């Protein structure tokens, strides 16, 4: 198995080959995911909720993400690993450079940050310094206190136009990948068509180039609240390896996410 690269993801976009990604936090699951065909893994600040028991991603530290990035890289040496820049670790250029450097040294291939066109200068400066960047638009969990909760974003023409504008601006600034979270299907389709970089959706319908799930959601471990976009692949497949294979297959075939997992 060859190492997954951003060039390969771009080629898949052109070929309309949909790919599955998943969050990973340790070596054992990273290895399991890689063996079942997951090419891209995210060391997400979601670990604050699913592993640390917090009610948001805000308490997660850079040290947390660095530690888990090292673990995932050991378990999946050929996967393309994205690592989140946690809350307030990219508030100034100098802080951003230091944060990104720590994640890249830990084994990340790319860093992910949340926000719109206000981040363009940051994205550009990271790209100039050989740090690949993944943008994140729509529902950005680090902004939960601004949004007033975990709500669907991009509804209404004005909000949709702003999101498209932000996506195009981030791509122009140098972002090489984009995550869209909890936006209407048609908006996700529009962004995917307008960007030349691959777009990964979560709660954004099946028109995006790829899909991502928090691993706990894919296994039905949702802590009492099941997001609309989640699917318990473990219940259907019967074992973890089979669940991951089923996830990969259904994303590739455009079966998942279905209409019941999407927002209009």
> Average model confidence (pLDDT) for the chain?
95
Coil, strand or helix: which one is 108? coil
Residue 181 among the catalytic residues: yes
Rounded CA separation 193/258 (Å) = 19
What pTM did the predictor assign? 0.95
Residue 148 pLDDT > 80: no
Tally of structural domains, the chain: 1
Give me the domain span that covers residue 239.
6-261
Residues 145-151 have a mean pLDDT of 67
197-243, pLDDT tens digit by residue? 999 999 999 999 999 999 999 999 987 678 899 999 999 999 999 99
1 domain-assigned = no
188 domain-assigned = yes
In 110-263, the DSSP E strands lie at 110-114, 133-138, 177-181, 199-202, 210-213
215 domain-assigned = yes
180 domain-assigned = yes
114 domain-assigned = yes
Q: Are 74 and 31 in contact (CB under 8 A)?
A: no
Confidence of residue 150 (pLDDT cuts 50, 70, 90): low
* Catalytic residue from among 181, 194, 249, 260: 181
Other CB atoms within a 10 A radius of the CB of residue 25 amount to 26
Report the CATH number that the domain containing residue 185 is assigned in CATH.
Answer: 3.20.20.60
Q: Give the pLDDT confidence score for residue 149 in this predicted structure.
A: 62
35-61, pLDDT tens digit by residue? 999 999 999 999 999 999 999 999 999
Main-chain phi, psi angles of 213, to 5 degrees: -130, 145
């Amino acid at each position: 198995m060859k190492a997954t690269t951003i060039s390969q993801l771009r080629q898949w976009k052109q070929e309309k080959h949909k790919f599955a990604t998943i969050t990973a936090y340790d070596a054992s699951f990273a290895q399991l995911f890689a063996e079942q065909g997951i090419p891209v893994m995210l060391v997400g600040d979601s670990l604050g909720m699913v592993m640390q028991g917090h009610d948001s991603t805000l308490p997660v530290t850079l040290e947390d993400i660095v530690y888990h990035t090292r673990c995932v890289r050991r378990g999946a040496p050929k996967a393309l690993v994205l690592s989140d820049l946690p809350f307030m670790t990219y508030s100034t250029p100098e802080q951003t450079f230091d944060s990104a450097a720590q994640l890249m040294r830990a084994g990340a291939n790319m860093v992910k940050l949340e926000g719109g066109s206000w981040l363009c200068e940051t994205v550009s400066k990271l790209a100039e310094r050989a740090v690949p960047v993944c943008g994140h638009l729509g529902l950005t969990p680090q902004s939960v206190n601004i949004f007033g909760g975990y709500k669907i974003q991009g509804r209404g023409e004005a909000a949709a136009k702003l999101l498209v504008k932000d996506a195009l601006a981030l791509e122009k600034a140098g972002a090489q990948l984009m995550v869209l979270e909890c936006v209407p299907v048609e908006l996700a389709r529009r962004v995917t068509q307008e960007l030349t970089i691959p777009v990964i959706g979560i709660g954004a319908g099946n028109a995006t180039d790829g899909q991502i799930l928090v691993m706990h959601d894919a296994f039905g471990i949702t802590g009492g609240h099941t997001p609309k976009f989640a699917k318990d692949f473990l219940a259907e497949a019967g074992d973890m390896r089979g669940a991951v294979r089923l996830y990969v297959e259904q994303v590739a075939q455009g079966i998942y996410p279905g209409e019941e997992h999407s927002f209009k």
